[in-house]
Amino acid sequence: MQAPVLVLNATFEPINVTAVRRALVLMLKGVAQAEETNHSEVHSTSKAIQVPSVIRLLSYRHIPQQSRALSRKNILLRDRNTCQFCGAALPASELTLDHVMPRSRGGRSSWENLVASCYSCNNRKGDRTPEEAGLKLQRRPRPFTLHTSRQLMRLIGHRDEKWRKYLFY
């Protein structure tokens, strides 16, 4: 019930990824319909519904410029649980957040100044800039945008071939 389901706007534009449970609620309320289904079913006493893989909202929803809350989880998601200095992909529990420009030097906690870092690289960098510590960022940190969300949808979609035609690979 927690498997990912791609949510499309009425115009077939991908707008979100939700859990099967939420997708089923939207379908039962008549707000969405299944565009692609899995081979499994969910049963009630009087009904059997195929588990959706992709749903489409029946009426168009205006999606305002999306911004995500600045949080550890979202920074790690943006950086794909990869240390931005050495490139090691690690579980979230083995990563820290690092201020590119240290807070002691006026660096702020912002999308552009926070990156995922392994403990080793974070300790090596310490209270210095990456250049001073002899480290190089893999990617410049950027805000989490709708484009980033689409990238993540593509990554998740690699597990489900039915998503391909909706994500413009």
CATH of the domain at 118: 1.10.30.50
pLDDT at 150: 60
Residue 28 reports pLDDT greater than 90: yes
Q: What is the pLDDT of residues 38-83, one digit of tens each?
A: 889 998 889 899 999 999 999 999 877 666 788 998 899 889 899 9
pLDDT at 112: 94
83 within a domain of the structure (yes/no): yes
Rg (CA), the chain: 20
Q: Can you tell me the distance from the alpha carbon of 149 to that of 6, in angstroms, rounded to the nearest whole number?
A: 12
140 within a domain of the structure (yes/no): no
* Run of H or E residues at 98: strand 95-99
Q: DSSP class of residue 82?
A: B
**Per-residue tokens: 74:** 């979202």
According to DSSP, the residues that pair with 4 across neighbouring strands are 19
20 within a domain of the structure (yes/no): yes
pLDDT at 14: 85
104 within a domain of the structure (yes/no): yes
Residue 157 reports pLDDT greater than 90: no
138 within a domain of the structure (yes/no): no
**pLDDT band for position 149 (cuts 50, 70, 90):** low
Residue 146 reports pLDDT greater than 60: no
According to DSSP, the residues that pair with 17 across neighbouring strands are 6
Do 56 and 76 sit in the same domain of this protein? Answer: no
pLDDT at 103: 95
Q: What is the pLDDT of residues 90-140, one digit of tens each?
A: 999 999 999 999 999 999 999 999 999 999 999 999 999 999 999 999 999
158 within a domain of the structure (yes/no): yes
Domain limits for position 40: 4-65+146-167
> What is the tally of structural domains in the chain?
2
Do 124 and 157 sit in the same domain of this protein? Answer: no
Do 58 and 101 sit in the same domain of this protein? Answer: no
Contact in structure between 27 and 7 (CB atoms under 8 Å): no
77 within a domain of the structure (yes/no): yes
161 within a domain of the structure (yes/no): yes
Question: Per-residue b/e over 18-56, b at no fewer than 16 CB within 10 Å?
Answer: bebebbbebbeeeebebbbeeeeeeeeeeeeeebbbbbb
Quick one: which of 3, 41, 37, 5 has its CA closest to 23? 5
Do 77 and 124 sit in the same domain of this protein? Answer: yes
pLDDT at 168: 67
